[in-house]
């Protein structure tokens, strides 16, 4: 191993806020059982929030952001992860409370790691990353609550984003009829290529028309929240479920109890960060098999180096990113 390595570091001290590529040494890394030579990370909405000067998600500085990690084990005191093994990690405190994936090396607890699943490369694992994992978790929760292909259209909101684009492609691969809502009028063809059969404008789904409205959707995956979640609850069919994971459209929720007590609609909360280990391990296996998006690396993914992170972080917070951005180290 080299003595120093490249890292994208956030500092916030007496000299003010700075973000940029620096050289770190191994003594700078936090404690942990396993040191990983990071090969790929990715840029999620939360990484955009982490890079803000007044970040609502970073709890300590200096911080190496990057909530996703894929690489090979460089040093380990954990018998499950021998040197050279390919591993992935997402969530937990990575990139917000514990140094994350935007560095050539990361050190973390072995309990946060998974072996790279069969049928996924390190690059593909990060093309999925937290966004793809969350889309998969939302689909699994919808299925556990009764959703099946053939039930009718499933609406994905914020559909060109990381969670949205992977969800559209996964659902269509499973045989669902997929509807997609987007604010990007130029990206309807992209969404059709991913498998969306019906496309709605963001404004069509941004507020409930009434407490309960026409029954349209067999289910929904919602990374947008706010008025859009209110719309989904009021338009989901009898007994259907809405899986919410995000807040790009706002954290407020305006609804009534009527969708729940008159239509038996389920509101499912989706959290990838503290997802229990058994669920996480099983879902990574599905991500390499039936949930692997067909257009993952061709259509959905773009790549940057460490120096490209600030621009992408700004774009993702502005809602201007299409698909997934991976960081190549
Ligand atoms: N709960 C969890 O574990 C978890 C995990 C991953 C992500 N998340 C959350 O899920 C959300 C999406 O994450 P992501 O990484 O997929 O982000 P992303 O790539 O930026 O995608 C978000 C999409 O939301 C839409 N959007 C942006 N601003 C909007 C606005 N003001 N009103 C309505 N729609 C808007 C855009 O899609 P269109 O242009 O197509 O409309 C955008 O591409 C974030 O809130 C993130 O924090 C949560």
Nearest CA to ligand 1 atom 36: 158
| Residue owning the nearest CA to atom 37 of ligand 1 | 158
- 224 CA distance to ligand 1 middle (Å): 6
- 155 shares a domain with 99: no
Residue 288 belongs to a domain: no
CA 314 to centroid of ligand 1, rounded, Å: 13
CA of 45 to the centre of ligand 1 (A): 6
Query: Do 88 and 168 reside in the same domain of the chain?
Result: no
Residue 219 CA, ligand 1 centroid: distance in Å: 18
- Interval 262-283: pLDDT, tens: 999 999 999 999 999 999 999 9
Looking at the fold, whether 257 and 138 belong to one and the same domain comes out as yes
Number of domains making up the chain: 2
Confidence of residue 143 (pLDDT cuts 50, 70, 90): very high
The whole-number pLDDT of residue 296 equals: 87
Q: Which residues have CB under 6 Å of ligand 1?
A: 44-46, 130-131, 134, 158-164, 182-184, 202, 223-224, 245-249, 270-273, 316, 319, 321
**CA-proximal residue: ligand 1, atom 31 (nearest):** 249
Exposed, middle or buried, 257 (CB in 10 Å: 0-12/13-18/19+)?
exposed
| pTM for this prediction | 0.97
Same domain, 239 and 308: no
Nearest protein Cα to ligand 1, atom 28: 319
153 and 112 share one domain: no
Mean pLDDT of 145-164: 98
Place of tokens 């954290």: 251
Residue 158 CA: which ligand 1 atom is closest?
37
Same domain for 108 and 24, yes or no, is yes
Nearest ligand 1 atom to alpha carbon 49: 47
pLDDT, one tens digit per residue, over 302-315 is 999 999 999 999 99
Q: Within this chain, do residues 261 and 156 fall inside the same structural domain, yes or no? A: yes
Domain assignment present for 277: no
Q: How far is the CA of 93 from the centre of ligand 1 (A)?
A: 20
Q: Whose CA is nearest to atom 12 of ligand 1?
A: 223
Q: In Å, how far from its chain's centre is CA 95? A: 14
Range of lowest pLDDT (88-92, 98-102, 196-200, 206-210) = 206-210
Confirm whether 280 is domain-assigned. Answer: no
- Tell me, in angstroms, the distance from the centre of ligand 1 to residue 41's CA: 18
Mean pLDDT computed over every residue of the chain: 96
- The stretch 125-138 carries a mean pLDDT of 98
Please give the distance, rounded to the nearest whole angstrom, from the Cα atom of residue 172 to the centre of ligand 1. 20
Domain for residue 25, yes or no? yes
The pLDDT, as a whole number, for residue 133 is: 98
pLDDT at 156: 98
Distance 243 CA to ligand 1 centre (A): 14
Residue nearest atom 27 in ligand 1 by C-alpha distance = 319
Q: What is the pLDDT of residue 297?
A: 81
- Same domain? For 222 and 105 the reply is no
Three-state secondary structure along the chain?
Answer: CCCEEEEEEEEEECCEEEEEEEEEEHHHCCCCCEEEEEEEEEECHHHHHHCCCCCCCCCCCCECCCCEEEEEEEEECCCCCCCCCEEEEECCCECCCECCCCECEEEECHHHCEECCCCCCHHHHHHHHHHHHHHHHHHHHHHHCCCCCCCCCEEECCCCCHHHHHHHHHHHHHCCCEEEEECCHHHHHHHHHHCEEEEEEHHHHCCCCCCCCCCCEEEEEECCEHHHHHHHHHHEEEEEEEEECCCCCECCCCCCCHHHHHHCCEEEECCCCCCCHHHHHHHHHHHCCCCCCCCHHHHHEEEECHHHHHHHHHHHHCCCCCCEEEEEC
Atom of ligand 1 nearest to the CA of 183: 41
Q: Are residues 19 and 108 in the same domain?
A: yes
Cα–Cα separations (whole angstroms), residue 220 to 67, 230, 293: 25, 12, 18
Residue 290 inside a domain? The answer is no
Residue-wise pLDDT for 226-272, tens only, equals: 999 999 999 999 999 999 999 999 999 989 999 999 999 999 999 99
Q: Does some domain include residue 220?
A: yes
Instruction: Provide the residue range defining the domain that includes 246.
Output: 131-269
CATH number at residue 153: 3.40.50.720
**Claim to verify: residue 151 and residue 254 sit in the same structural domain:** yes
State the distance from the centre of ligand 1 to the C-alpha of 246, rounded, in angstroms: 6
Higher pLDDT, 249 or 208: 249
Whether 308 is covered by a domain: the verdict is yes
Residue 274 inside a domain? The answer is no
Instruction: Tell which of 251, 269, 287 closes a domain.
Output: 269
CATH number at residue 47: 3.90.180.10
Do 30 and 69 share a structural domain?
yes
Which range, of 1-10, 17-26, 29-38, averages the lowest pLDDT?
1-10
The pLDDT of residue 285 is 97
Are residues 68 and 194 part of one domain?
no
């Amino acid at each position: 191993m080299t003595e120093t390595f490249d890292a994208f570091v956030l500092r916030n001290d007496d000299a003010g806020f700075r973000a940029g590529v620096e050289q770190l040494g191994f003594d700078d890394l936090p404690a942990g059982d396993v040191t990983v030579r990071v090969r790929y990370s990715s840029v999620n909405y939360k990484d955009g929030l982490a890079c803000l000067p007044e970040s609502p998600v970073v709890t300590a500085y200096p911080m190496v952001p990057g909530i996703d990690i894929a690489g090979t084990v460089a040093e380990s005191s954990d018998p499950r992860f021998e040197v050279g093994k390919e591993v992935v990690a997402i969530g937990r405190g990575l990139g917000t409370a514990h140094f994350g994936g935007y560095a050539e090396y990361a050190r973390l607890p072995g309990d946060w790691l998974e072996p790279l699943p069969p049928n996924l490369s390190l690059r593909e694992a990060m093309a999925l990353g937290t966004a793809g994992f969350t889309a998969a978790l939302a689909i699994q929760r919808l299925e556990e609550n009764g959703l099946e292909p053939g039930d009718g259209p499933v609406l994905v909101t914020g559909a060109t984003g990381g969670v949205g684009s992977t969800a559209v492609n996964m659902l269509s691969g499973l045989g669902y009829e997929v509807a997609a809502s987007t604010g990007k009028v130029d990206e309807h063809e992209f969404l059709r290529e991913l498998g969306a059969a019906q496309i709605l404008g963001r404004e069509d789904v941004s507020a409930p028309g009434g407490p309960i409205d026409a029954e349209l959707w067999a289910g929904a995956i919602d990374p947008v929240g706010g008025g859009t979640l209110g719309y989904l609850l009021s338009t989901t069919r009898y007994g259907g479920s809405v899986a919410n994971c995000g807040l790009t459209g706002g954290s407020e929720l305006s609804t009534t109890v009527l969708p729940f007590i008159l239509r038996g609609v389920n509101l499912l909360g989706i959290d990838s960060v503290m997802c229990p280990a058994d669920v996480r391990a099983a879902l990574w296996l599905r991500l390499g098999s039936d949930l692997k998006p067909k257009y993952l690396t061709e259509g959905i993914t773009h790549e940057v180096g460490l120096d490209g992170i600030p621009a992408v972080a700004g774009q993702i917070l502005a809602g201007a990113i299409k698909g997934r951005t991976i960081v190549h180290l």
